[in-house]
Every structure is written in C-alpha cells, then in structure tokens.
Amino acid sequence: MPFIDVKNLSVHDPVQQKSIVTNMTFSLQQQHCLAIIGESGSGKSTVAKALIGLIPPSLEVEGTILFDDETLTIQTAEQWRGKRIGFISQDAMNAFNPIETIGHQMMETFQRHLGLHGNKGKAHAIAGLERVHLNNPNELLKKYPHELSGGMLQRVMIAIAMMLSPDVIIADEPTSSLDAYNRREVIMQLQRLKEETGAVLIIISHDLGVVQAIADEVLVMHQGEMLEHRPAEKIFTVPEHQQTKHLLETRRRLSAPLETLRQQRVRAFPC
C-alpha cells in the first residue's frame, strides 16, 4: 500500500483563469525518496504546498491526497505539519523568526510537537544540532538567525525535522542558495535523514547532482503537468519524454563549464 497517494490533484487560479497544476496522480512507498524536477514555474512548489496543506485560499484545489490511508484536509494538515510532515524550505532565513534565538525557536517547536519542556527540550535541541555536525551547540542556541550563515540555518532546519522524526519530509530547493561546501554538507545530512528516520523524502531540486545523489524515483513536471514518474536511474539513462531530455541536457550544459574549470584546476594544481 503506498504511503502517499495523490489522485487527480489540480490547482487553479480563478483570478487569472490559469491552471497551475493539472490532474496529477502519483504515489510513493515508505522509505522512498522522490525528486520532483522541472523548469522554473512548472508547478513544483505548488505540489509541495498541496502536500503540506498550504495552498493559499485564493487558489482552488481539487483531487485527493492520502497520507498513510488518511485524507489530507485543512484540519489534518494543521495537525500533521511538524510532527508527521516536516518541511525544509529554500529560504532558511525567512523560515525563522528574526527576533527570537535559535534555541528559543527549537525548544518551542519541541514543546509544541513533542511535549518536551525546559531542560528536556534543550537537550533535544543540542542533540539535533550535534546530529547535523554544528559546532558549539550550546552557544548556537543563544544566537539569532542573522548571526548564522544560510548553510547553518539550513542545517538547523534539517536538525529540527530530524528530531521531530516525521513520516514525510518535503524539501523545496534545499541547496539552491548555498555555496558548494554547504551544498555538499546539506546533501549528506538529507541522506542521513532518510537513512536514520526511514522517512519518505520528497525533494524538489533543479540540482541534478542532488537528485542523482539521493532520489530513488524522479517525477518530471512541465507546465503544471506530470510528464513522467519513474526510477531515478531510468530517468537519467533512458528519459522517455522529449522535455525530460531537454531538461537533462540543459542542466548538463550549465554544469559543464564548472566541471571544465574544476579539471583545469586539478591540472594546474595537482596534489
């Protein structure tokens, strides 16, 4: 039985009379990692928002989403967010409250979702920061979001998701605002998150390196429609759809100059 079962999901903008997502049907088994890829504006984030029940009321949603055989509704989404469904967003800075310390925000989350108070919440926060290899967790808890780099905040978000042990983790472009070092770190943390929690992981990314590193399955979107949803190795070796081939080609071409630069560097500075 699939753990997530999406049937005929459509999202429509009645003001602009525009279809944002059209009739998507897909399912996902437990412990699987799905990557959603597609050009900018193809509807990837809208699908992620539908899965966490955060489509703005100005848009119309049709179709059904089942989690573990239970229907997602506004009420269930509210209850499940955090504890059963974790969300790691692209914009780590905006995900935190700028006027509260990291520690306060982590402990408040653990109190609300896990009922951990005082020192128990603090110990849980420290354990989380240690799990994502952030140094001096005690000091980090006293800091405000602006005192941390984007990569560190991204890791704090992953730590929170890890320590809540949700059944599903959705990460929307988790590496797009990071430099190469932090990107690698975050990919490694997401891999660990999947292995250690056994959670279903849905990752939205146009970073094919990330997708190849962690996805079991890939779903390709184009103009609000699902073009194909197949095992990752099949998408990369024998893409079925012309648009998928185009997407892979474009990404390869974009990363090619970087690879050339890297090789030139290796030749110039062999070690």
Ligand X SMILES: Nc1ncnc2c1ncn2[C@@H]1O[C@H](COP(=O)(O)OP(=O)(O)O)[C@@H](O)[C@H]1O
Smallest separation (angstroms) from Mg ion to the CB of 90: 7
Beta-carbon contacts of residue 1 (< 8 Å; ≥ 6 apart): 69
Q: Are strands 33-38 and 217-222 parallel, antiparallel or unpaired?
A: parallel
Single-letter amino acid code for the residue at 165: S
46 binds, among Mg ion, ligand X, none (CB under 5 to 8 A by kind): ligand X
Stretch that binds ligand X, among 1-9, 43-51, 80-88, 133-141 (CB under 6 A): 43-51
b or e along 70-97 (b: 16 or more beta carbons within 10 Å of the residue's beta carbon)? eebeeebbeebbbebbbbbbbebeebbe
CA distance 21 to 60: 10
Establish if 60 lies at the interface with ligand X (CB under 6 A).
Answer: no
Task: Let me know: does 244 contact 228? Beta carbons within 8 Å.
Answer: yes
Smallest separation (angstroms) from ligand X to the CB of 32: 21
Judged by CB under 6 A, the number of residues near ligand X is 12
- The owner of tokens 């955090």 is 82
- The owner of tokens 């941390």 is 148
Establish if 56 lies at the interface with ligand X (CB under 6 A).
Answer: yes
Residues within window 14-33 making contact with ligand X, judged by CB under 6 A: 20
Say if residue 188 is exposed, middle or buried (CB neighbours under 10 Å; 0-12, 13-18, 19+). middle
Establish if 54 lies at the interface with ligand X (CB under 6 A).
Answer: no
How crowded is residue 268: how many other Cβ atoms within 10 Å of its Cβ?
7
Establish if 105 lies at the interface with ligand X (CB under 6 A).
Answer: no
Nearer to ligand X, 42 or 109 (CB): 42
Establish if 59 lies at the interface with ligand X (CB under 6 A).
Answer: yes
Three-state SS for 187? Answer: helix
Q: Return the structure tokens found at 164.
A: 């809540």
Smallest separation (angstroms) from ligand X to the CB of 87: 14
90 binds, among ligand X, Mg ion, none (CB under 5 to 8 A by kind): none
CA distance 186 to 25: 29
Establish if 91 lies at the interface with ligand X (CB under 6 A).
Answer: no
Stretch that binds ligand X, among 1-9, 34-42, 78-86, 100-108 (CB under 6 A): 34-42
Binder among 10, 12, 13, 143 for ligand X (CB under 6 A): 13
CA distances from 266 to 52, 110, 129, 182, 259 (A): 44, 46, 34, 21, 10
Establish if 206 lies at the interface with ligand X (CB under 6 A).
Answer: no
Task: Let me know: does 211 contact 37? Beta carbons within 8 Å.
Answer: yes
Bridge partners of 9? Answer: 24
Smallest separation (angstroms) from ligand X to the CB of 44: 4
Smallest separation (angstroms) from Mg ion to the CB of 189: 21
> Interface with Mg ion by CB under 5 A: which residues?
45
Establish if 250 lies at the interface with ligand X (CB under 6 A).
Answer: no
Smallest separation (angstroms) from Mg ion to the CB of 150: 17
Smallest separation (angstroms) from ligand X to the CB of 90: 9
Chain positions contacting ligand X, by CB under 6 A = 13, 20, 38, 40-46, 56, 59
